[in-house]
Amino acid sequence: MRQISTITWIKYFIIPFSFIIVLTSCKSNEEKKSNEKEKYIIPDSLLKKINIETVQNCQLVNAITLTGSVDFDQDHQINIFPLVSGNVQDVKVQLGDYVNAGQSLATIKSSEMAGYSNSLVMAQTNVTATKKQLDAAKDLFSSGLSSQLDVTNAQASYDQALSQLEMAKRILKINGNNVQGDYVVKAPISGFIVQKNINNNMAIRTDNGNNIFTISDLKTVWVQANVYESNINKIHLGDSVYITTLSYPDRIFKGKIDKLINVLDPANKVMKVRIVLPNYDYALKPLMFTSVDVIDKHNQESICVSKKALIFDHSQYYVLKYTGKGNADITPVTVTSVFGDKVYLSQGVTVGDKIIASEAILIYEALNN
């Protein structure tokens, strides 16, 4: 009876308890393995694409930010006015078209041109007639049938006829040199049609005072920036500027202030400054809004990194410090200022550290996950 009790005790207490211990041990090992996170290693395929830069000291830069807009370069812009009155017959270009110097823009049927053509024909006829009279006077003088005075008068008439012919040619040339009575409007320079005030079958007059076309080459543009009174003493001729636009937020256009308009705009009480920028790719277009940072450099230096390396998450700035072999550490940093494509830091990294300056957010998310 005692033996049965022992066997029963082993069966119902010892064996189940041992089984529970084994299960608990297995479960603990599984939980330990599941809690162990494998550190994210940047794949070689991604490592080849990312930009790794070295932290360095940069000259500390402050900036005065101005608002402005893109404008036409008035030194490379031509307003075209009609030189004759008449009816527009053929407009060959539209607003925004690129034209070459000498290209026909429109044709105007004009009675004035017909008058210029008629004056040329009459002048040519007069030259022919006076030349015959001069030759006849010379022959008569040689025969003793006329005096020297007759030859002199004939010569004067001929010279006057030549002068009138030259004048008629010049007038016709100024007005298009067309003897058919049509005035052809031609482009004086190469560039874009930026203003067009003419249409087919439109009657125009020279005394109207309005231009019919405006051409600008747009290879250079002006940026007109507004300086408020409180900043006038901080802005100088020749100051370097960084310009950004809404259309190209990641592109910085660099230039210098080349003119101060030393009077205040009566409408908004600001002083205008002008920056001339090259625009060979025509990225900048007149009337674009711009942000103009006037650079104020100091003799001090500060640690700086690329703006693309900076990550902001949960009210904290971070960078990814690259430690080699595909490893990166999330490093909190303290930002003191931002200018252009550079970020100035006071804490978190030191000169010589390697940081990831592209695809940073992608790698940051992978490290967190």
pLDDT tens digit sequence for 43-98: 888 888 889 999 999 888 778 899 999 999 999 999 999 888 888 888 999 999 99
* Token pair listed for 308: 């693309």
82: in domain: yes
**290 or 205: whose pLDDT is higher?**
290
Provide the pLDDT confidence category of residue 289 given band limits of 50, 70 and 90: very high
| 347 and 327 share one domain | yes
pLDDT tens per residue, range 91-107: 999 999 999 999 999 98
On the question of pLDDT at 282 being above 50, the answer is yes
**Same-domain status, 197 and 137:** yes
The enclosing domain of 70 has a CATH number of: 2.40.30.170
Q: Give the pLDDT score at 330.
A: 92
The answer to whether residue 90 is domain-embedded is: yes
Beta strand 191-196 pairing with 98-99: antiparallel
d(CA 204, CA 218): 28
The reply to whether 104 and 160 lie within a common domain is: yes
Lowest mean pLDDT among 120-124, 256-260, 356-360: 120-124
Residues 15, 19, 20, 21, CA torsion sign = positive
Task: Say yes or no: 96 and 148 in one domain.
Answer: yes
Residues 6+ positions from 206 with CB-CB distance below 8 Å: 81, 82, 83, 84, 85
Helical spans, DSSP H, in 144-211: 148-174
The pTM (predicted TM-score) of the whole model is: 0.61
Show the tokens assigned to 47: 């490592």
Q: Are residues 305 and 294 in the same domain?
A: no
> Can you give the pLDDT at residue 309?
92
Task: Say whether both 245 and 156 belong to one domain.
Answer: no
Band (pLDDT 50/70/90 cuts) for residue 16 is low
Interatomic CA distance for residues 272 and 260, integer angstroms: 6
**pLDDT the model gives residue 23:** 45
- In this structure, the answer to whether residues 170 and 206 fall within a common structural domain is yes
Nearest to 131 by CA among 162, 109, 176: 162
CATH of the domain at 203: 2.40.50.100
pLDDT mean over 117-123? 73
The C-alpha atoms of residue 308 and residue 359 are separated, in whole angstroms, by 8
Q: Is 10 inside any structural domain?
A: no
**Packing angle of the helix pair 148-174, 111-143 (nearest 10 deg):** 160
Longest dimension (CA), the chain: 183
SS3 267: coil
Kind and range of the H or E run holding 134: helix 111-143
Same-domain status, 180 and 239: no
Place of tokens 């089984």: 19
Residues 117 and 177 in one domain: yes
Domain count, the chain: 3
Q: Which domain holds residue 173?
A: 77-215
Residues 154, 99 share a domain: yes
Indicate whether 114 and 201 sit together in one domain.
yes
- Terminal Cα distance for the chain, rounded: 63
149/197 same-domain check: yes
